């Protein structure tokens, strides 16, 4: 039996406790500074208020100020914060992370600066003290995994990515159950780029829901699946370009981390809801304030995080803007409040 700390008591971090406890491990679920109400509810009822599921008996809730206590004799840390919380998590872990310790990220996203784009495992690494940056053993989970389905023990298939094949097999053995299926990959960059971009392109697919409402139903009652499918395909096309430019492997784009995760994210959730509002004609700022003030919309947050760096990289010739027309259109829509305009004539350019 392993002692596992999950930092972040949101729906995905909490749902991740199900396969772990089903395998006999003990989970210490540590809420962030924003998760106080969740931790209190779990203490009182054992039911996660957003997941709507009773957490397994092997889960012990902790408030963030007890992270040091939770880390005592731990074997693994799982990072379940949202993309905006990675630097906060790095600061918290800096105080308690032992040498040569494994950290598994559920958090998805990218960050950028004048040097280029970074996957979140590297952002976490850079946030640790210099003495810990090289010996921390980072891995990440990617693939189509809706938290509620995982908590209901529905069949779920994911990829566990990292640099050390032996470590990946050890971690996979902790996770695999009859319903939680795990493959391993040493392409950490490819997997992380795929699962980050899926949020942005799911936001783009979600535009169709709003465009359909705005235009009105056709006389024969049909929807706009043709439009959604084309946007979906372009999203994968652009993901493949960026994966290769960042040093990843194209194969992950067309398996679970890319096509699989984009498909499941397009089925609903916060990105789809926000996409609908954008398609209806609201600006991102209006829709966020009016309809989703408490929600983190990961696709929009990604557009904001990488928008300026992508523009700079294109201007310097380090990225081919012609290969990323949908990404750049979504950045303009989210960051600049631009009206929705699908750049059809620029789709499926091969790039440099």
* Residue pLDDT, tens place only, 238-277: 999 999 999 999 999 999 999 999 999 999 899 999 999 9
Topology classification of domain 3-186: Rossmann fold (3.40.50)
DSSP state letter for 31: -
Domain at 189-346, CATH from 1.10.1040.10, 1.20.58.1910, 3.20.20.120, 3.30.565.10: 1.10.1040.10
Q: Which of 108, 198, 214, 288 is catalytic?
A: 198
> Confidence class of residue 31 from pLDDT cuts 50, 70 and 90?
very high
- pLDDT value at 298 more than 90: yes
Per-residue pLDDT tens over the stretch 144-194: 999 999 999 999 999 999 999 999 999 999 999 999 999 999 999 999 999
- pLDDT value at 352 more than 70: no
Same fold, 3-186 and 189-346: no
Helices (H), the chain: 11-15, 17-22, 36-45, 67-70, 86-94, 120-127, 130-133, 147-151, 165-175, 188-215, 225-245, 261-265, 270-280, 284-291, 298-315, 325-336
Closest CA to 271 of 326, 334, 229: 334
The owner of tokens 């996957």 is: 119
- Of the chain, the percentage scoring pLDDT greater than 90 comes to 93
Is residue 288 flagged as an active site residue? Answer: no
pTM of structure: 0.94
Closest CA to 17 of 100, 76, 84: 76
Domain boundaries of the chain, sorted by first residue? 3-186, 189-346
42 within 8 A of 29, measured Cβ to Cβ: yes
Mean pLDDT of 314-335: 97
């Amino acid at each position: 039996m392993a002692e596992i700390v999950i930092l972040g008591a949101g729906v995905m971090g909490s749902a991740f406790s199900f396969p772990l406890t089903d395998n006999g491990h003990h989970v210490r679920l540590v809420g962030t500074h924003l998760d106080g109400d969740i931790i209190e509810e779990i203490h009182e009822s054992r039911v996660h208020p957003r997941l709507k599921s009773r957490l397994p008996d092997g889960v012990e809730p902790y408030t963030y100020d007890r992270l040091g206590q939770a880390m005592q004799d731990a074997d693994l840390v799982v990072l379940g914060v949202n993309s905006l919380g990675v630097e906060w998590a790095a600061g918290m872990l800096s105080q308690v992370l032992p040498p040569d310790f494994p950290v598994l990220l559920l958090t998805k996203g990218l960050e950028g600066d004048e040097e280029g784009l970074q996957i979140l495992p590297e952002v976490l690494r850079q946030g640790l003290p210099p003495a810990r940056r090289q010996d921390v053993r980072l891995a990440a989970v990617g693939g189509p995994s809706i938290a509620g389905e995982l908590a209901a023990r529905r069949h779920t298939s994911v990829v566990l990515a990292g640099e050390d094949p032996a470590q990946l097999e050890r971690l996979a053995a902790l996770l695999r159950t009859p319903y939680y299926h795990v493959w391993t990959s040493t392409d950490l960059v490819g997997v992380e780029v795929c699962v980050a971009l899926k949020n942005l392109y799911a936001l783009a697919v979600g535009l169709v829901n709003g465009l359909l409402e705005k235009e009105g139903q056709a006389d024969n009652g049909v929807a706009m699946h043709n439009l959604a499918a084309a946007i979906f395909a372009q999203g994968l096309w652009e993901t493949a370009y960026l994966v290769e430019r960042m040093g990843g492997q194209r194969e992950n784009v067309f398996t679970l981390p890319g096509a699989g995760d984009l498909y499941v994210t397009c089925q609903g959730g916060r990105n789809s809801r926000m996409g609908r509002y954008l398609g209806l004609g609201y600006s991102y700022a209006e829709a966020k304030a009016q309809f989703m003030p408490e929600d983190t919309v990961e696709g929009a947050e990604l557009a904001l995080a990488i928008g300026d760096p992508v523009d700079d990289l294109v201007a310097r010739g380090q990225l081919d803007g012609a290969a990323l027309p949908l990404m750049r259109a979504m950045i303009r829509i989210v960051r600049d409040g631009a009206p929705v305009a699908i750049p059809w004539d620029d789709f499926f350019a091969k790039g440099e």
